[in-house]
């Protein structure tokens, strides 16, 4: 529910609206604009009588949000949420390029690759220190050691870091060793943007905790769509993050499971979903052409399709030697290929505006 105050409403009048919201057991979310003040009523508003606010003469209108997701909807806030990722602004019209290897594989690898990707036009470095792998025998990531290499890479290059939190639990390492810090806390401390992966899109406990911790630390979250999640489920998962304290959330589409899976493409690229999310939600939308295709030969074309459909950012897996990558090598582009993609993205972007 949104309560819009009349132009010129005083602080005391705003306080009265806030008092009524709190008294009903709900939370106010105040936005003061140039000529109007709008107060979002956060919580379960179903049983709240609109007249509680309508009867106040300084209230202009009371609007119920029709969608099941509230804070992330366009109805709640017609403006796209914009925020900085290092020097780049996401949601501001320019396509933000996030690139990096699937996994951080070693110190030298990430340091030299980051420099090459930056030269190719990457504005943020993405690399997994904790990897959610389908097989328990596959490389699980370097854990804390990987985070340390990422930190060093950021101080050398200035690139902001996007890295995944796989859970609130401890991280198992080869040889039965377990790290002593919860993965989420370690990632929130290091990352500029905390990635929540497709497999965890419905881990509601993780979403709540990530919203709280990332929000308190002033960090953003990149939330990936589950491979079989509806867009409504996806938006409700984002709602968890925002409701629990993190307003700076990016929605990341990464392909969905269809009957096509695995033969020619790993997933099916959900391009139309970009335009749907842009219409339905106030959050910026990022597209991942790497996981959605699973094939480096398709990444360039699908990246451009995503930009044409309105994406605010791209998440592209890249590796100096894709054939030697410890994970997802078949879908990694080289720094040279990334550079060509970025050049075309910049051309297409000019046509969009």
Q: Which residue ranges make up the site for Mn ion (CB under 5 A)?
A: 102, 328
- d(CA 28, CA 250) in angstroms, rounded, equals 23
Measured from each CB, the residue nearest to ligand PEP is: 197
Strands (E), the chain: 2-5, 27-32, 37-42, 59-63, 83-85, 88-90, 96-100, 124-126, 161-164, 193-196, 220-224, 249-253, 285-287, 313-317
Shortest Å, Cβ 277 to ligand PEP = 16
Q: Which of 72, 68, 2 is nearest to 221 (CA)?
A: 72
254 binds, among ligand PEP, Mn ion, none (CB under 5 to 8 A by kind): ligand PEP
Kindly state the smallest distance separating residue 291's Cβ from ligand PEP, in Å.
5
Query: Rounded to an integer, what distance in angstroms lies between the CA atom of residue 205 and that of residue 228?
Result: 19
Closest residue by beta carbon to Mn ion? 102
User: Distance (Å, rounded) from C-alpha 209 to C-alpha 283?
Assistant: 20
Q: What minimum distance in Å lies between the beta carbon of 129 and ligand PEP?
A: 11
Closer residue to Mn ion, CB minimum distance, 70 or 225: 225
| Positions in the binding site for ligand PEP (CB under 6 A) | 102, 128, 132, 197-199, 224, 254, 291
Residue 103 vs 157, nearer CB to Mn ion: 103
The site partner of 81 among Mn ion, ligand PEP, none (C-beta below 5 to 8 Å per kind) is none
- Helix or strand holding residue 15 (H, E): helix 11-23
224 contact choice in Mn ion, ligand PEP, none (CB below 5 to 8 Å, kind-dependent): ligand PEP
Give least dist CB 162 to ligand PEP, A.
Answer: 9
CB of 187 to ligand PEP, least distance (A): 13
Residue 40 or 100 with smaller CB distance to Mn ion: 100
Q: How far apart are CA 145 and CA 306, in angstroms?
A: 34
- Pairing, β 2-5 against β 37-42: antiparallel
Q: Which does 20 bind (CB under 5 to 8 A by kind): ligand PEP, Mn ion, none?
A: none
Alpha-carbon span 76 to 309, nearest angstrom? 23
């Amino acid at each position: 529910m949104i309560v819009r105050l009349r132009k010129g409403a005083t602080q005391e009048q705003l306080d009265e609206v806030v008092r009524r919201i709190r008294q009903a057991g709900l939370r106010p979310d105040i936005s003061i604009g140039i000529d109007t003040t709008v107060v979002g009523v956060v919580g379960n508003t179903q049983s709240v009588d609109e007249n509680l606010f309508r009867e106040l003469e300084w209230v202009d209108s009371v609007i119920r949000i029709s969608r099941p997701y509230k804070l992330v909807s366009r109805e709640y806030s017609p403006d796209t949420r914009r925020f900085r990722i290092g020097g780049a602004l996401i949601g501001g019209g320019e396509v933000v390029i996030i690139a990096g290897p699937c996994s951080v594989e070693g110190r030298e690898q990430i340091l030299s690759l980051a420099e090459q990707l930056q030269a190719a036009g990457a504005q943020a470095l993405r690399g997994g220190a904790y990897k959610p792998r389908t097989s328990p025998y596959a490389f699980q990531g370097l854990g804390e050691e990987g985070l340390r290499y990422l930190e060093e890479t950021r101080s050398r290059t200035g690139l902001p870091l996007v890295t995944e939190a796989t859970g609130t639990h401890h991280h198992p390492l080869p040889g039965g060793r377990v790290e002593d810090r919860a993965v989420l806390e370690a990632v929130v401390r290091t990352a500029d943007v905390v990635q929540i992966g497709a497999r965890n899109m419905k881990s509601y406990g993780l979403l709540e905790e990530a919203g709280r911790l990332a929000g308190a630390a002033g960090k953003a979250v990149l939330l990936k769509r589950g491979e079989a999640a509806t867009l409504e489920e996806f938006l409700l998962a984002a709602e968890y993050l925002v409701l629990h304290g993190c307003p700076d959330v990016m929605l990341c589409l990464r392909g969905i499971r269809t009957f096509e899976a695995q033969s020619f493409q790993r997933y099916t690229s959900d391009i139309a979903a970009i335009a749907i999310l842009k219409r339905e939600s106030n959050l910026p939308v990022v597209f991942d052409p790497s996981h959605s295709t699973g094939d480096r030969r398709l990444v360039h074309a699908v990246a451009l399709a995503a930009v044409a459909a309105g994406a605010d950012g791209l998440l592209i897996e890249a590796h100096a030697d894709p054939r030697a990558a410890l994970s997802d090598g078949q879908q990694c582009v080289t720094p040279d290929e990334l550079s060509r993609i970025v050049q075309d993205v910049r051309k297409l972007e000019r046509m969009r505006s």
